[in-house]
Amino acid sequence: MLASLFADAHWYDLVGPGWLALVLVVGYLYTKHIVHSNEYTLPASKTRLFYTALVLFYIVNGSPFSIIANQYLFSGLMLQVALTCFVVVPLIIIGLPTELFRKYAWNHKTRLSMKIAGHPWATVIVFNALFTAYFMPGVFNVVHDSVILSLLMKTLLFVHAFFMWWVVINPLPGLNELGYLTRIAYIFFAAVLLMPIGFFFLIVQEAHYPVYAAAAGDVFPVVTAIYDQQFAGGILKVIQLSSFIFAMFQILKKWGKEEDDQEGKVDDENVRIVQGIVIRIDDKNKR
């Protein structure tokens, strides 16, 4: 059955040479200038995550799966976009060294623009607004008919997903940094903002996407256009919530570790020793 879906596809549709070239070039530059560079030090676990992100990015965007996502299954497209925004992007950020961010994102030339573009609360609102707008039927049916508009929208989502995950992962302390508790609230807020579009797909009882409605049943005969849209909503929520829950777990884990490390230590900044007696000075008294 799958072979018949690809029978009329050209080789470049099956291989995605543009996406393959992009992944190979990025992988080559990463290996040469980061992995094999004496300037950066990265554990093998982080490099594996980066390479995993590149492979996953190619599979969902450049392999034959992209034909299914673009022509046959709306749920396939949702899987493509959700994996890119909620899995690939954070893996890329984790796989890059802090020194690289400090060199190119926190110098005197880029500091102001990065603080503006990556403002925590602005970027989460913009990302979720773009994500919701893209999948609204009135917008999607226009954008999806144009290769250029579709690529532009996915690029915008990728960029703003990068800034959103930047706040969550906090790869460079000092740049739009939020505290642990605030970052957890930030993740919760981001999850809430995507709930309306997710529930829209889950409860929808009408086929809103003509391209996929026309191909309903071609991949799986039992999957109608409405079921396809509902599957898309389920896929979005599962991937989004799984990535956010995992991020919250990591934040709580790191927070707890820092608290354990500080337990029993003396805060030298607020301590004075007078004739052998240790005196602690509260911040309010210092002011």
| Length reported for the chain | 287
- Rg of the chain (C-alpha set): 23
- H or E stretch at 5: helix 2-5
Q: What is the pLDDT of residue 19?
A: 94
- Cα 17 to Cα 9: distance, rounded to the nearest angstrom: 14
* φ and ψ of 237, to 5 deg: -65, -40
Are 86 and 131 contacting, i.e. CB atoms less than 8 angstroms apart?
no
Q: What is the pLDDT of residue 284?
A: 45
Reduced 3-state DSSP string for 150-174: HHHHHHHHHHHHHHHHHHHHCCCCC
pLDDT of the chain, 287 residues: tens digit per residue: 566 777 777 777 788 899 999 999 999 999 999 999 888 888 999 999 999 999 999 999 999 999 999 999 999 999 999 999 999 999 999 999 988 887 877 665 666 666 666 678 888 999 999 999 999 999 999 999 999 999 999 999 999 999 899 889 888 766 656 788 888 999 999 999 999 998 889 888 899 999 999 989 888 989 999 999 999 999 999 999 999 999 999 999 888 887 777 765 555 555 554 544 545 555 544 44
Q: Is the dihedral of CA 273, 275, 276, 279 positive or negative?
A: negative
Residues 6+ apart with CB under 8 A from 131: 81, 85, 157, 194, 197
> What amino acid occupies position 87?
V
Are 65 and 59 contacting, i.e. CB atoms less than 8 angstroms apart?
yes
pTM comes to 0.85
Compute the half-sphere exposure of residue 209: CA atoms within 13 Å on the CB side of its CA. Answer: 32
Give the Cβ contact number of residue 182 at 10 Å: 12
- Kindly report the CA angle at 79 between 123 and 43, in degrees rounded to 5? 70
Are 68 and 5 contacting, i.e. CB atoms less than 8 angstroms apart?
yes
State the residue for tokens 């590149």: 54
Give the Cβ contact number of residue 39 at 10 Å: 10
- Cα 89 to Cα 171: distance, rounded to the nearest angstrom: 13
CA distances from 39 to 76, 98, 100 (A): 40, 11, 9
Are 178 and 167 contacting, i.e. CB atoms less than 8 angstroms apart?
yes
> What amino acid occupies position 155?
T
